[in-house]
Structure 1
């Protein structure tokens, strides 16, 4: 568990919360009155103590007291508040501790002198913190005398450029970064060790949002933070951090994945892409590429939400099936007409031929008999001046069915718009409120909502969309498409949904097995479409979505995988190749970690 950018009060709140649950702080950093901390739940952890906000004198007093009780410092951070040096420290009681030395309040020259003195005696730095007080760079450092220590190197007072050069040099020789810290002038101190084959990653020079985004990216690839250092460099918060992974993907497999994604994005001029994959009910991988906003340079991160267009239909279908389970409707219930689910709320009587014969199942199966782009008229992209109720009434009044309900498959966005109104009528709630409470929340999703129409209507963490071939992503009445195409989501949200309707036993489904079987049963008019889902004989279940400026896909495979991929543009055959891309990614990965990132 990691937290960053905390005030002293917030740090104490988080400290109390996680310690009560059996966690302890294992790494912390203090800077400009704010704190970053990593908590871990460890078996057989040594006795420990933590201190915060100590003056130099108070720190020395606590140091002396705790050392007399058998503790030793393992992490000491200096920082500035109110123009004076303060200290935060972690102590542990280690019966097998090697000989150690700790120093604080060192100038750069003092640090170098202590470094030379103790390393010549066989010690090495195991903790270092740089901080600046009234314009002077100071250091805390702990040296341990470790027998048979792996080879190590340390560098001090490096510019950002020099630090990067040293990083590249030593990483290229098989060393891994073990600690890094920076002064308020952006001067870096770092230590590398030549040890182990554990996968690791390091970043520096990140602002608060960049750090959080990188934290999330690496978390969703199986990495955990082991070191974080915050600094206020030239008046701006800046973070350097190290992550490692005990169980993660093979680097060669990830190179294949990245290459496949890069080719796809290049072929289709994709600004930004995000995907998530679950295996056997476990979220195992989320990766992001490119830009959420090209103009600002904002990179796609796991937090970013995309329009999902018709991937909304399986969600609406699941909500209808939940009403079915609640005995509020039957598949054979009529939708329009006296005594029907929506009665005569919409349109003017008498209805046109066969309208009163349309059932819930007809709309779910796309065989209501009309109102389809297949038949040259999709109401949802017309009459943009009308709200949903006005649109439904106008269509019922002006657009007769072209086929007998239940006889032919013709994909109808309008039909799913009507199903949204059925949900509202039977639940007594707004469509999105019912879906959130009955479908999304039980699946652990609290981040999805109905999107807006214009660029100015973009929601928090929503990407920007880019049209190609003259398409305008912001010319549509997206908000009116709620139940057939207006949700925005992250791929992780959609995978959370999938694993709760996947008809596997790995995680409890939100519908009963018999209800799932009914939902996934192929239609008599199109054996490749069920109730809101595309299906095949394998059986795999999926749905895609496409609107100007976006393409979406979510898939449940018969061999235990669930995935979703979202992009913020569309052109040509992007949908087919996006589907192929995800199968390429699946097949490129030879080893799947055992963790669950949900």
Structure 2
């Protein structure tokens, strides 16, 4: 059972009237959906999108706490004249129904909700010639009797909505005199009964065409309509709280589904949702999705991961993104591909891009010295510098050839990673201490030794050259031009977690909340969603599919490996494949820009210490992309 999300709302009801006429409309952005809108927010949403040529398809009302809220679905399609109202009392609804019926309008949507013992209605009418009967304010028994009568008279149930008013359940329903495929309608089903009905009917070739959730006391109930019809692949969910509805919404969208029904209902102070989605024809195939799910599911199961986020790009187009498992196992909150993950050392390519941007702008050179006389940082981190320290260049730091084994991440020499020492120090204090205590073990440029500490220094170089904080510069000069506005330097503690960030789980590899993550900024501190990281990646990938923020010369320099290893400047290389992985307690990540036009990311919120964990992760994603039968032409960015 999902945990309730509590709301604190102001009180407001609103009435809206708008007449719309037919028009020839653009196919771009064909639908928009929102939920948990106050009446004022819904009014603004309505005004904005109807002015852009969208038409309301559904407006579900529900109470949470002491206010009424709305979930709305609009489509950019042509259609007949239309009129809609929301926040109507029962008397208002009856009066408007009568008036519009006389003017030739018929209901295409009606929903009800209860607040403070009174019923309120939202409805959409279109001008058509349907023969229609509608009833509202019915008890369950009255609805059953009305259903039987209208069915006998040749009317077909089109919509039924249940909702609580005080201690009673009421129904509003619409029938039309028409024929159609075999139909099954049920109401007052508990969640278990609805699930059984769902299983039985779908196994017999039916699909849900309408579902309404409602609550009485502590029990959820459902009214539903199943029809024996064909159509595109579909998916349905019920009893979702707000966070999990948003996660399911995002997961469906980034698999190529669009919503065809969203119904909100009250659950005391909270809201719950039921929804139905249908597959769009231009998106990745069901066979492709099943292959991805099976492959990733096996990896998650093998290593006992709480959750993961994945995204795949083909020729600059986002083809697929999805969250798997739990963002937080303790609450049952699901992972969404728009959830933020610590990306760990996948931060390094971003720092590499930032440095190369400054090189391209002639604000620094790769050959610039970092410490000592005439250098970028001078003596900011100590007056006493060794000969080898004064020889370090920007390029040495980018290629992990600056400090040798004394600055690397291994503990082979007994000193360990500088960035995981001296927790009480600031970045400046730590750099000063390491320069004083750990002289490079080799001549700079001659020994590859992977170094978080070296990239920490690169962050300080960016700050010195730009006069801005590292995060500020990267956000404004690198991420913003790529259309990315939700990447940040992460917090150290769980209390500092962002609202849309996953929870990191300790699988035996150390405390995820016992590190100085913010101090890691330039080498391992970023948090990002799979979707946003790919939004960045397609703008720094060297392909012509989307305009890059680096010129060809700067890109080629960035991915040219060093003289002593296959590591380039913030990027690992293998032929024309450029990639990086990342590891922190509670986090495992991989990012790949492949030479065949494919790119992908895979982020987890748990990490195994098994030796094969990262090798299997890399193989996993190659297996995923190599098993897709055909790449679609759509773009989900």
Q: Shorter chain as normaliser: what TM range?
A: over 0.9
Q: Are the equivalent residues in 2 in contact too, given 1:47–1:92 (CA < 8 A)?
A: yes
Aligned partners of 2:158 and 2:176 also within 8 Å: yes
**One of 486, 509, 519 as aligned partner of 1:447:** 486
Displacement after TM superposition at 1:109 (Å): 2.6
**Correspondent of 1:553 among 575, 587, 590:** 590
Per-residue deviation, 1:431: 0.5
What is the alpha-carbon distance in structure 2 between the residues aligned to residue 87 and residue 35 of structure 1?
Answer: 11
Q: Report the equivalent of 2:203.
A: 172
Q: Whole-Å Cα distance in 2 between the matches of residues 107 and 251 of structure 1?
A: 42
Report the 3-state secondary structure (helix = DSSP H, G, I; strand = E; otherwise coil) of the residue aligned with 2:215: coil
Deviation at 1:242, TM superposition (A): 1.1
**2:137 paired residue number:** 105
Q: CA RMSD in A?
A: 1.9
Contact 1:348 1:397 in 2 (8 A): no
Write the distance in 1 (CA, Å) between the matches of 2:222 and 2:507.
Answer: 45
Residue in 2 that maps onto 1:85: 119
1:374-523, aligned counterparts within 5 Å? 376=413, 377=415, 378-469=417-508, 471-523=510-562
Partner of 1:571: 609
Aligned length: 591
Any idea what SS the aligned residue of 1:67 has? helix
2:191 is matched with which residue: 160, 172, 176?
160
Aligned counterparts of 1:457 and 1:54: Cα–Cα separation in 2: 42
Is the contact between residue 6 and residue 34 of structure 1 (CA under 8 Å) also seen in structure 2? yes
What is the TM-score of this pair, normalised by structure 2? 0.89
- 1:262-285 per-residue CA deviation (whole Å, 9 max, x = no partner) reads 221232222221111122222221
Q: Secondary structure at the match of 1:77?
A: strand
Match of 1:213 among 247, 253, 256: 247
Matched, 1:529 2:564: no
- Choose the corresponding residue for 1:138, options 170, 187, 190: 170
Superposition misfits of 4+ residues, deviation over 4 angstroms: none
Structure 1 residue 595 corresponds to structure 2 residue 634: yes
**Equivalent residues of 1:128, 1:139 under 8 A apart:** yes
> CA–CA distance in 2 between the matches of 1:413 and 1:236?
45
Q: Distance in 2 between matches of 1:78 and 1:479?
A: 48
Please list the CA deviations of residues 471-494 of structure 1 after superposition, one character each: whole Å capped at 9, or x if unmatched.
Answer: 333333222111011111222221
Question: Is residue 509–residue 607 contact of structure 2 (8 Å, CA) maintained in 1?
Answer: no
1:19 aligns with 2:61: no
Q: 8 Å contact 2:244–2:333 — kept in the other structure?
A: no
TM normalised by structure 1 equals 0.94
For 1:356, the equivalent position in structure 2 comes to 390
Gap runs ≥5 in structure 1: none
Residues 172-222 of structure 1, C-alpha deviations (whole Å, 9 max, x = no match): 111110101133323321101111131111111122222122112211211
Equivalent-residue separation in structure 1 for 2:630 and 2:81 (angstroms): 38
Map of 2:408 onto structure 1: 372
Instruction: Show the 5 A alignment for 1:17-96.
Output: 17-32=48-63, 33-42=68-77, 44-94=78-128
Counterpart of 2:371 in structure 1 is: 336
User: Following TM superposition, by how much is the alpha carbon of 1:470 offset from its aligned partner in structure 2, in angstroms?
Assistant: 5.3
Write the deviation string for residues 151-181 of structure 1: whole angstroms up to 9, x where unpaired: 2211122222211111111111111101011
Does structure 1 conserve the Cα–Cα contact (< 8 Å) formed by 2:338 and 2:531?
Answer: no
1-structure distance, mates of 2:224, 2:252: 21
Structure 1 residues 236 and 368: alpha-carbon distance in aligned structure 2, compared to 1, 3 A threshold: closer
Structure 1 stretch 273-282 or stretch 181-190: which is displaced more?
181-190
Q: Are the equivalent residues in 1 in contact too, given 2:558–2:569 (CA < 8 A)?
A: yes
1:369 Cα shift? 4.1
- CA 577–113 in structure 1, closer or farther in 2 if over 3 Å, else same: same
> Distance in 2 between the 1:137 and 1:122 partners?
26
2:223 equivalent to 1:192: no
Q: Which moved more, 1:234-243 or 1:557-566?
A: 234-243
Alignment of 1:128 with 2:166, yes or no, is: no
> Cα gap change, 1:316/1:180 in structure 2, threshold over 3 Å: closer, same or farther?
same
* Contact kept? 1:306, 1:490, Cα under 8 Å: yes
Distance 1:239 1:295, change over 3 A: closer
User: Could you tell me how far apart the structure 2 residues matched to 1:338 and 1:433 are?
Assistant: 28
Q: Following TM superposition, by how much is the alpha carbon of 1:469 offset from its aligned partner in structure 2, in angstroms?
A: 4.6
Please point out which of 277, 287, 291 is paired with 1:243. Answer: 277
Q: Cα 1:163–1:468, aligned 2, differ >3 Å: closer, same or farther?
A: closer
Q: Give the distance between the partners of 2:52 and 2:461, measured in 1 at CA.
A: 45
The separation in 2 between residues aligned to 1:5 and 1:466, in whole angstroms, is 30
Partner of 2:4: none
Query: What is the aligned partner in structure 1 of residue 340 from structure 2?
Result: 305
Q: 2:403·2:439 contact (CA, 8 Å) conserved in 1?
A: no
Mean CA deviation greater in 371-380 or 207-216: 371-380
- Tell me the secondary structure at the aligned position of residue 237 of structure 1: strand
Contact 2:338 2:532 in 1 (8 A): no
The worse-fitting range, judged by mean Cα deviation, of 422-431 and 130-139 is 130-139
Distance in 1 separating the partners of 2:108 and 2:69? 20
What's the secondary structure of 2:624's corresponding residue? Answer: helix
* Number of the residue aligned with 1:10: 41
Give the structure 2 partner of residue 294 of structure 1: 329
Whole-angstrom CA distance in 2 between matches of 1:469 and 1:122: 65
What's the counterpart of residue 18 of structure 2? none
Task: Summarize the Cα distance change of 1:175–1:331 in structure 2 as closer, same or farther, 3 Å threshold.
Answer: same
| SS class of match (1:452) | coil
The superposition leaves residues 57-107 of structure 1 with CA deviations (integer Å, 9 ceiling, x where unpaired) of 32233223323333211001122234322221101123xx44322222223
2:304 — aligned with what?
Answer: 269
Aligned 8 A contact 1:27 1:227 in 2:
yes
Give me the whole-angstrom Cα distance separating, in 2, the residues matched to 1:53 and 1:316: 51
2-side partners of 1:593 and 1:424: how far apart?
42
Equivalent residue number for residue 15 of structure 2: none
Confirm or deny: 8 A CA contact 1:303 1:490 kept in the other structure.
yes
CA distance in structure 2 between the partners assigned to 1:200 and 1:266 by the alignment: 26
